[in-house]
Amino acid sequence: MGYMARQAILDGAEQTYGYELLYRAAPEPFARFSDSNVAAHTVLDDLLVFGCDEISGGRQLFLNCGYELLNGKGVSLLPRPVVIEILEDVQPDEELLRNLKELKEAGFLIALDDFSPNDHTLPLVPLADIIKIDFLANSRERCVEIVKTHCTKAIALAEKIETRDQYQASRQMGCSLFQGYFFAKPAIMETLDVRPLQSTHCQLLAATCKETMDYAEIERIVKSDVALCYKLLRYLNSVAFCQGCKITSLRQALVILGERIVRRWIAVGAVTEVCQGRSRELISTALLRARFCELLSPQSSCHPYDLFMAGLFSMMEPILGVPLSKILNQVEISPLAKAALLGEANRVRKHLDLVISYCSADWTQFQEQCLTLQRSPEHAGSAYLEAVRWVNNVVALS
């Protein structure tokens, strides 16, 4: 079997430009060159089955392509948001250059992966829209030279950017796109404070943490906040969640949703409120982890809401730049989810670790965690794709 996840590519405003699809044909922390064409064909097949919009949320998708795939016709079947990323080991010949020109004329963008100028890569530069520069594999002087010499017409993308210092340095040298985990690591800790939740959100979070929810109490709290009431009705009347059913009252809305979705909606609303003005990609990652965790609840002996909250709050430290322990002191979530977030190796934490390893494309850890929890890797992959679709719907409604 194979594994596929995605990694965000951000612009200079730290907004999401697109995603690179991350694939492994085997549970290893690296891609073997002998597998590059197999991996690319598998990802291509998955995209044709699931649809690019399901994975991308309307943003650019970067698809790694080896020589065999580039000389085939499969890529031309994909919609134009796909960026064709040429792997560094591809050796171009006349046929390949001709095919790339046809793909560009058809509207595809061309990116050069791990670019280093040599006899094989230089003939590709005139066709490139984006040139990716490995910030870890090259000195900063070398990166500056590549940007100045070879990125005069192409966009320079700095990849493997892991720190804020690297991000700032790559911006100064002329890079416009950035890939790595720098944006998920807080630059300053302890000096920022948590934006206080509105009292209605605090009351709602407390109400949803009860073993059995009181719909009358939830309705009373929501009615006290006009904006919140409007958001709930808008959420419910969307085609994605209500299939065209017209909602006319709060009680009707709550009953139609049911406890699980009400709990989830309130948690998302509270976190969205406290995270206003923060990175939308980090918020999307928090939502993805939350829904992914929740979808693993069957056969987990964990309450779905505990898993959802653990996934959601696992991203609060990088989003807010505040220690997680401080954040958890200001909100009420279940003791089990709180303990998992603070590092206790309970069952919720083990499922959260599985989700984090999958989302980070750490396939070795993911495989080990699946064995430990006796979870099917195939089921986890399906849950990930379903979580991506859900996040796209939520973001579209926000």
Q: What is the CATH number of the domain that holds 120?
A: 3.20.20.450
Structural domain harbouring 119:
3-184
Q: Assess whether pLDDT exceeds 60 at residue 35.
A: no
Q: Is the pTM of this model over 0.85?
A: no
Instruction: Sort 84 into a burial class: Cβ within 10 Å, 0-12 / 13-18 / 19+.
Output: buried
Token pair for 371: 């064995």
In angstroms, the CA 374 to CA 362 distance is: 18
Work out the pLDDT band at 93, boundaries 50, 70, 90.
Answer: very high
Same domain, 350 and 240: yes
Q: Assess whether pLDDT exceeds 70 at residue 181.
A: yes
Does the residue 210 lie in any domain? yes
Domain end marker among 122, 149, 184:
184
- The lowest-confidence range among 47-56, 218-227, 372-381 is 47-56
- The lowest-confidence range among 24-28, 321-325, 373-377 is 24-28
Domain end marker among 120, 153, 184:
184
Does the residue 393 lie in any domain? yes
Same domain, 174 and 36: yes
46 CB neighbour count, 10 Å cutoff: 18
pLDDT of residue 212: 77
Q: What is the CATH number of the domain that holds 335?
A: 1.10.3210.10
Does the residue 84 lie in any domain? yes
How many structural domains is the chain composed of?
2
Does the residue 22 lie in any domain? yes
Same domain, 87 and 52: yes
Same domain, 31 and 118: yes
Same domain, 227 and 356: yes
Token pair for 136: 């870890």
pLDDT of residue 203: 76
Close Cβ partners of 139 (under 8 Å, ≥ 6 residues apart): none
Share of the chain above pLDDT 70, in %: 80
Same domain, 247 and 326: yes
Same domain, 173 and 203: no
What are 124-143's pLDDT values in tens digits?
Answer: 999 999 999 999 999 999 99
Asked if residue 166 lies in contact with residue 135, where contact means CB atoms within 8 angstroms, the answer is yes
Same domain, 170 and 220: no
Same domain, 16 and 61: yes
What are 300-323's pLDDT values in tens digits?
Answer: 889 888 999 899 889 888 887 778
Same domain, 387 and 305: yes
Q: In the chain, how long is the greatest CA-to-CA distance?
A: 72
Q: Assess whether pLDDT exceeds 90 at residue 146.
A: yes
Q: What is the mean pLDDT of residues 342-356?
A: 95
What are 167-179's pLDDT values in tens digits?
Answer: 999 999 999 999 9
Q: What is the mean pLDDT of residues 15-40?
A: 61
